[in-house]
Every structure is written in structure tokens, then in C-alpha cells.
Amino acid sequence: MKKIIAFPLLILCTVGMLGFSNYNRRTEFPMETLTFEQDTISKKIDSLLNIMTLEEKVGQMNQYNGFWEVTGPPPENGSAEEKYQDLRNGLVGSMLTVRGVKQVRAVQEIVVNETRLGIPLIIGFDVIHGYKTLSPIPLAEAASWDLEAIRKSSEVAAAEAAASGINWTFAPMVDISRDPRWGRVMEGAGEDPYLGSKIAAARVKGFQGEDLSNPLTIAATAKHFAGYGFAEGGREYNKADIGTVTLHNVVLPPFKAAEEAGVKTFMNGFNVLNGVPVTGSEHLLRDILKQDWGFEGFVISDYASIEEMTMHGYTENRKMAAKKAVEAGVDMDMEAYAYVNELVSLVKEGKLDEALIDDAVRRILRVKFELGLFDDPYKYLDEEREKEVVGNPAHHEAVLDMAKKSIVLLKNENNLLPLKKQGQKIAVIGALANDKNSPLGSWRIASDDNTAVSVLEGMQKYEGNELVFEKGADLVNGRVTFINELNFNTTDKSGFDAAVEAARDADVVVMVAGEHGFQSGEGRSRTNLDLPGVQQELLEKVYEANKNLVLVLNNGRPLAIDWAAENVPAIVEAWHLGTETGNAVAQVLYGDYNPSGKLPMSFPRSVGQVPVYYNHQNTGRPDEAADDMVFWSHYTDEENTPLYPFGYGLSYTSFEYSNLELDKKEASVNGEINVSVEVTNTGKYDGKEVVQLYIRDLYASVIRPVKELKGFELVEIPVGATKTVQFTLTPKELGFYNANGEYVVEPGDFKVFVGGSSNEGLQGSFRLTK
């Protein structure tokens, strides 16, 4: 390999001095010690590691939250001043929640110009469903089943964040969850590992693009590794108690898909799994992630989760927590102060191998190199680009498209929808109908309050009808912020009479109800899944006045809406759809967009059913026997089935499935089976249908679910047309992980189902042989 001449350290990527003309003044190392070979990033990293002190290495493993207005004067006392000095001394490798070109440039200039080695920061941020221009919450996006739209949504979010100086997002959250009481279901893709895996890959590719050094892409994070979505009782930060079969077949597949898509970082969860905090789980991080999967990026803790291992009772103190975390494979500490304060002494005392520190720093530096930060630490910092990209009109069009695709039509008796565009008097009722803040949803810390298009505003753009708005009742009392506990209105019904009167005088009523945007998300667990406050009572009184009622739901999780499902003729699941909420809802209500969304999570009949999910295993007594009315697996006061199952969603048109064909009835365990079905649009509107394929392995060494999604295709079919949809089942779809985490494909009998949801479809069968 070619030898090259010596360079100042901070010209590692050969594109210029980067403003480091004072390099020799700031280091005791002569330039001739810095010779290295440039043909690989690994060589550059090794050269840098060779001249880093232990303290500087540990500094790269330390992430601080933004702690002062960085374009203003530096802090002069307290912990903020200590953090500031750490920044100047090269003891910080990353910062989070610093945003905007001016702010990021200020902190980047400190480390570039004042630290000994000038290693650039990587700037992290929670870009969950958009930056300034907001897409629907991730659970809503998952309802689209449109992988290209989801990828594009993440691409828009990445562009705006990157243009604001951010290099790295703590997304996507790929936790599978079956419990809607857990508030963070809004941040994921629902209950199914196959759909979740496809969406995880799409989001990673959207954030990171084809070239991570592109200044409009950002590094992605697969979180929370692992099991966080199985928090016991749906209670935030609680332990997860699952077996290895569930771990390998349900929890891990979306993480593996993210890794295969090239995700650059992983994040731990707050939970305990199998008695060990996942932040300290060597089995998860070293054995599975870094060894078995060959992950080359780095792992970051969740916020202070290293120190919290002491609260769990897993470590005696913060020092031992730091030791456990590094040994487990956590490469960067988010705001626990554990690494920066404890690791140097642990190494010097001989209690921690410095090789583990080196491995972590190599991983962190690699991502910084791949982002191009060593080429130019200011490459993301262009104020003109920031003005041009953030809030670009094309981004509004993209998130509007995503919002329309995310809407699910749950019920439409007597074709009440779509609404007529002329000649009707429509009563629009509900505080959420005129709300411009709640529809933005949770996790939107870079957006501006009250910037959503409200449902009322969206409907007002259709001028052919007379609209009358009545709030009916406030949803919450007082000012709402991300960090406060919501104070719901449970007593003030003074607006009921006006709302009922408006409903009585209208041809049709559109009532918007559901959760506030800040009622779901982190720390927002619920024991009830009903309509909060006085909304249910208002809904019933409005229905009594006018049964031509359309219920538009705003929510971040599945709700128990059994009364509405039984009584209200039309129900539209509109989630929290982001910036363009009202325009998307109005276009669906008026039929300018035919809804095609399908549920990514089952809706329970009541909270007592939870968790209820489609891909459950059979019990030994799954069915009611003719001569035994009691001793079978059931509730005495509720059905077993969900109110609305996974994969369910209606359209303004109808689809008929026919001619399910398998190209063979028998194949080897290493072979393939091709499945085809014809789908005909038998209704009056052009429409899209998510054609879903499920299998059931009838008997195996590990009990398999009654159904498993193994393929889907979003197809657009004009009125009267028929399309043939084809699937191929390979060992990748037909196998499973056993209790030891080994992937196996076993001979046996299988059923295959193809239809429009998890509870319907045509059936076929085949057999696998050795």
C-alpha cells in the first residue's frame, strides 16, 4: 500500500486545513508522528486513536444535552459551567437538542478551535416524524402500508434536520408492542414483526439515503434494543417479561432489518429483560448485535439509562454501572455522566480493559468519518440552505400525501361517506375539530405550536356546503405543553346544548374526538382506552340529535370505542396527522382521496382484553365445545376477538378476491412456493387495496401463531378492473427461530391465507418436505 507524507491530524480526509492553522500550537505531538495510510477509514481511525489520551477517548463516549444558549455568553457557575469546560477540553463527543445552524456552529467551533485534537461533534436530535414540517406520527404512517411513502417521509425529515445542523436522529423506534396502554406505541409500527421490519428498513433508508456524507441526510438509530415495547402492564419504563421465542421471532426481527439496511447506531431501552437491564446486557449487545449480526456502528444509551441501572438494583453505584455498560457494549453515554466521570479511573485501577474503550471510540469515529464531519465539520452549517430547505412547500406536499395515505376508514354504513360537496348543512363538532396544536402529535420538539391545519380549516376550503362549528366542550383545561400532565375537562358541559342544537339542524354531523396529541408518547401510559374527558357523553348526545354522524378520531394509539362501533354509522381513524392534518382529513371526507389505510395494531373491544393481537398462539382449548359451555379459553363478559383486527381498513369502493393458486402443493424446506390471487374492484370508485398474505405452520417444534403476515402488496385498481397479485414464499418466510435463537425451517403442513385483513381471505394449503 502507498505510503504518504505526514499531515496535521485534522486533515485526515485530505480536503483541506479546516481552519486548524493553530494545530501545532495546540498539541505536543510533532506532525511527523502523524503519518498514516489514507486508503481506508480504519487506518485513519487507528492513527487518531494512537495519539489520543485516555481522557480524550472517554470524551468521545460522552454525550451532553444542550445546557445553555450557545450563541450567548458561556455559563459561569454550576454544572453548566462544568459541562462547558468539558466541551472545551475535548471531553464531549456528542450533543443533543442543539439545533439551528447558528447554535450548532457555536458548539462545533468550540471543539474545533479550542480542544487539543479538534475532533468534531456529532449532533443528535429526536427527529421522530418530521422536523419543522411534520408527517403523521409513526403509528399512523404504518397504517399506510406504503413503504415508499414512509421512506419519503423520513427523507423529508432528514433534509430539514440536516439543513438545521443536525447529523443524527434517535429514530426509528422499531419496538413491537401489543399493548396500546403503552404511550410509545405512537412512535412505532404496531404489533407485527414482518410489517415492522419492512417499515424499519424504509425509515432507515429514508433518513440515511444512499450516501451518508450527503449534507441532507442524517444517521439513524434503531431503538430501543430490546423488548421495551413489552413493558409489563403497558406502564412506561417497566420491566419486560418475555421468553426467548418471543424475543427472537417478534422483538428482534425489526432490529435485524434495520441493521441490514445499514443503520448506523442502536439505542438501549430503559427496561429490564430476563432480570438484566438491557443497558447492561452483554448477551444482547455483544453476542447478538455486534457478534452474530456483525454490527459495525455504535450503541448509545437512552437518557441516563446507565446510571439508572443502580436504581434497578443491578449495580452498586454509578461507577459500577459505567463498568457494566462498557463491558456490555454501550459505546456512548447519554446524559448519565457515568463515562466521563468514571471510566478513566476504572481503567487506571485495572478494573476495565482499555481495549473496550478503544473499540467504542473506533465505532463512534467511524460514523463521524462516514458523515463527512472530518472532511468539513461545518458541512451541515449553511444558513442559506437552512432557509431554503426547512418548511419547503414540496415538503408540505409530501407530508400531505403521507397523511392521506395514513387514514383508515373503520366504518361506513349506508355509504354516508364521502360527503356531498354542495347543498348540505354540516355541523362540525368537538374541540379537536378547531385545534391547530394537538394534531401535530407528540415528539415534535422542533416544530412550532399551532401550525397544523385544523379539520375545520380543511373542510372550509370546500365552499359548496354550509358549515356550522360548535366546540361542545373543552378537551383539556389550561395550557398544554409537552412536559405537563394533561388536566382533562370532566365537568364543564356548558357547550353541550349548542352542539346538540347544531347537530339537530344539520344534514350531517362531523364530530372530531379522541386523544390530545400529548396524551401519547413517552411517559403517557393509560389504564383506560376510552375517549377522555366528557367526549363520550357529548358523542352520545350528538348522535341522539342526528344519526347521520361521522366520527373522526384523533389518537396516538388504538382506542376502545365499542359504543361508537355499534352505533355511529361512519368512523374515520385519522390519528395525529401532523402539519397537513385538516387538508388530509377533508380530502378523504369529501372523496377527493379514497382511503386505503389498514390498521397496524388491533383495536380492543375493552381494555380488559389487552393485550389483544392477531398473531397469537392457540391454547389447548381454543374453542367452545358443543357440550361444554365453560371450560375453554374465553372471557365470560367479552368476546375474544378484537373490535377491529390488524390489517383491517375499508375503502369507498369494494374488492373481491378470487382464484387463489399455488404453483405446487409440496416443496422441500429449501424450495419456494409461488402464490397468486386475483383482486377485482367491484365498486364505484378507483381505489387502492393492501393485499395481505398470511401463513400458518400447523405443527412445529415451537408452537407457531394462528396466523403470520408474510407478504403484502399495495395495488391500485380502477373500477371494474382485475389485477393478479403474486407472492413467493421462501425459507425466509417459512422458518422461525427456536428457543436457542437458531433459525430453522421444518417439514410439515401449512395453510396460506390471502385477503384484505388478518381475519378474512381465501385459503390454500401446502406441505414442506425434507
Cell numbers representing residue 400 in the block: 400531505
Q: Which residues pair with 511 in a beta bridge?
A: 429, 551
Examine the pLDDT at 525 and tell me if it is beyond 70: yes
Q: What is the pLDDT of residue 627?
A: 67
> Quick one: pLDDT band at residue 11, thresholds 50, 70, 90?
very low
What interhelical angle do 252-260 and 193-208 show, nearest 10? 30
Q: Give Cβ neighbours of residue 20 (< 8 Å, ≥ 6 apart).
A: 8, 10, 11, 112, 118
Sign of CA dihedral 499, 504, 510, 514: positive
Q: Give Cβ neighbours of residue 643 (< 8 Å, ≥ 6 apart).
A: 560, 561, 562, 565, 602, 603, 604, 605
CA separation for the pair 111, 91 (Å, rounded): 9
DSSP secondary structure string, 158-196? Answer: HHHHHHTT--EE---B------TTSGGGGGS--S-HHHH
CA separation for the pair 603, 600 (Å, rounded): 10
Q: What is the pLDDT of residue 34?
A: 39
Query: Would you state the CATH architecture of domain 655-769?
Result: Sandwich (2.60)
> Quick one: pLDDT band at residue 12, thresholds 50, 70, 90?
very low
Cell numbers representing residue 348 in the block: 487506571
DSSP state of 414: G
Q: What is the pLDDT of residue 478?
A: 85
Strand order across the beta sheet in which 298-300 lies: 221-225, 265-268, 298-300
Give the residue-averaged pLDDT of 242-270: 98
State the DSSP H helix or E strand holding residue 465, giving kind and residue range, or none if neither: none
Encode pLDDT of 424-452 as tens digits. Answer: 999 999 999 999 999 999 999 999 999 99
Give the residue-averaged pLDDT of 650-677: 98
Strands 94-96 and 666-668, how do they pair? unpaired
CA neighbor of 141 nearest in space, from 161, 157, 160, 124: 157
Q: What is the pTM of this model?
A: 0.94
Examine the pLDDT at 3 and tell me if it is beyond 70: no
Examine the pLDDT at 1 and tell me if it is beyond 50: no
Encode pLDDT of 711-766 as tens digits. Answer: 999 999 999 999 999 999 999 999 999 999 999 999 999 999 999 999 999 999 99
- 302 part of the active site: yes
Whether the Cβ atoms of residue 175 and residue 229 lie closer than 8 Å to each other:
yes
Share of the chain above pLDDT 70, in %: 95
Question: Can you list the alpha helix ranges (DSSP code H) found in 568-692?
Answer: 581-589
Residues in the chain: 770
Q: Which of 381-395, 469-483, 693-707 bottoms out in mean pLDDT, i.e. has the lowest?
A: 469-483
C-alpha angle 188/194/197, rounded to 5°? 55
Encode pLDDT of 170-213 as tens digits. Answer: 999 999 999 999 999 999 999 999 999 999 999 999 999 999 99
Q: How many CA atoms are closer than 13 Å to the CA of 382, on its beta-carbon side?
A: 14
CA separation for the pair 292, 567 (Å, rounded): 52
Whether the Cβ atoms of residue 202 and residue 208 lie closer than 8 Å to each other:
no
CA neighbor of 177 nearest in space, from 710, 555, 612: 612
Top CATH class of 400-609 equals: alpha beta
Cell numbers representing residue 658 in the block: 378470487
Catalytic-role residue among 146, 302, 333, 401: 302
Burial of 566: CB neighbours in 10 Å, binned 0-12, 13-18, 19+: exposed
List for the chain the helix, strand, coil content (%; round to 5). Answer: 35, 20, 45
Encode pLDDT of 314-373 as tens digits. Answer: 999 999 999 999 999 999 999 999 999 999 999 999 999 999 999 999 999 999 999 999
Encode pLDDT of 672-719 as tens digits. Answer: 999 999 999 999 999 999 999 999 999 999 999 999 999 999 999 999
DSSP state of 153: H
Give the residue-averaged pLDDT of 620-640: 85
Cell numbers representing residue 368 in the block: 463521524
Examine the pLDDT at 482 and tell me if it is beyond 90: no
Examine the pLDDT at 26 and tell me if it is beyond 60: no
DSSP secondary structure string, 273-301? Answer: ETTEEGGG-HIIIIIIIIIIS---SEEE-
Examine the pLDDT at 669 and tell me if it is beyond 90: yes
Q: How far is CA 530 from CA 558, 603, 606, 649, in A?
A: 10, 11, 9, 21
Examine the pLDDT at 32 and tell me if it is beyond 60: no
Examine the pLDDT at 73 and tell me if it is beyond 90: no
The per-residue pLDDT of the chain, averaged, comes to 93
Examine the pLDDT at 19 and tell me if it is beyond 90: no
Examine the pLDDT at 27 and tell me if it is beyond 60: no
Burial of 299: CB neighbours in 10 Å, binned 0-12, 13-18, 19+: buried
Give the residue-averaged pLDDT of 524-538: 97
Q: What is the pLDDT of residue 7?
A: 30
- Domain limits, the chain: 400-609, 655-769
Examine the pLDDT at 397 and tell me if it is beyond 70: yes
Give the residue-averaged pLDDT of 156-172: 98
Examine the pLDDT at 595 and tell me if it is beyond 60: yes
Give the residue-averaged pLDDT of 527-532: 97
Give the residue-averaged pLDDT of 505-514: 98
